[in-house]
Amino acid sequence: MANIALPEVKAAFTLAAKVYDGVIKPAVAAKRLRAEAGLNINSARDFLAQFRCMMRGDVFKRTQSALALQYFLPQILSQRGQAAATNAVVAVWKHIEYYEDIEKTRLLKLRAIVSQFENSLSGPLPSQIYERKLSADVQLSRRDTSAERKKRLTNASKKPTIATATTNIFIRNRDVIAEVLERAAGVCEKCKRPAPFNRKSDQRPFLEVHHKIQLANDGEDTVENAIALCPNCHRQLHHG
């Protein structure tokens, strides 16, 4: 979506909203964007799909320009409310995680825009925003070497930052999670069985990182205090 100016972005947002609301058909909106805004048909379709994904909190896989994101997010908030804006932010973080992994890059502009927008939301952020951002950050961390993560961990605080969300959550260190997952190498560190399935997003073995001494009980957010578990073992430790 290179070289698309603000008037085209505004037109795309307006028609994408109408498509989502069932006012017009996607094919009609795409043709109008081509005829009236000068967008090529593929870019028009991408805008329509991205708006739908943002409204639903779903991942979108075609890249979105920084200009479009800067316009879409506040417009969704002002026209659709905080819940819709939350879904939009979650969708953007899912996109960032997906695209950075596929292209082996860092979407620094998009990360900066969505992080700044989060600060404009009123009240505590919903926990799902923190969770999706953490997932995207862990993805980046796992692309680094263990030596790079350990170097950062040397200077990292052993106590997590606490943020007020819909519920109180701990902002966990992404390097701790990534390092523990690498150490486990796809095998549950409690039952010693392979992970029960692979993640759909990246096909890596699905394990969950658990703190031996819970953070809520003043446990440290460190590699030494963490263990990689299959979902069954994780639930057993919490609820067994």
**Region 217-224 average pLDDT:** 92
Q: Among candidates 85, 176, 89, 185, which has minimal Cα distance to 131?
A: 89
> What is the predicted pLDDT for the residue at 208?
96
169-204 pLDDT, tens digit each: 888 999 999 999 999 999 999 999 999 999 988 899
From CA 101, how far away is CA 202, in angstroms rounded? 8
Q: What is the pTM of this model?
A: 0.83
- Residues 90, 138: one domain? no
- Residues 230, 142: one domain? yes
- Residues 127, 114: one domain? no
Q: Which domain holds residue 199?
A: 123-240
Domain end among 60, 90, 122: 122
- Residues 60, 141: one domain? no
- Residues 95, 6: one domain? yes
- Residues 201, 115: one domain? no
Domain end among 101, 122, 143: 122
**Region 143-158 average pLDDT:** 96
The H or E element that residue 162 is part of is strand 161-164
- Residues 113, 144: one domain? no
- Over the chain, what is the mean pLDDT? 94
From CA 223, how far away is CA 211, in angstroms rounded? 9
From CA 25, how far away is CA 191, in angstroms rounded? 52
Domain end among 88, 104, 122: 122
- Residues 37, 92: one domain? yes
- Residues 20, 73: one domain? yes
- Residues 115, 148: one domain? no
- CB contact burial 101-125 (16+ within 10 A = b; e otherwise): beeeeebeebbebbeebbeebeeeb
65-94 pLDDT, tens digit each: 999 999 999 999 999 999 999 999 999 999
| Contact between residue 98 and residue 59 where contact means Cβ atoms under 8 Å apart | yes
**Is 177 exposed, middle or buried, given 0-12, 13-18 or 19+ CB atoms closer than 10 A?**
buried
- Residues 127, 235: one domain? yes
Counting the structural domains of the chain, the total is 2
Q: For 104, which DSSP code?
A: T
From CA 68, how far away is CA 95, in angstroms rounded? 14
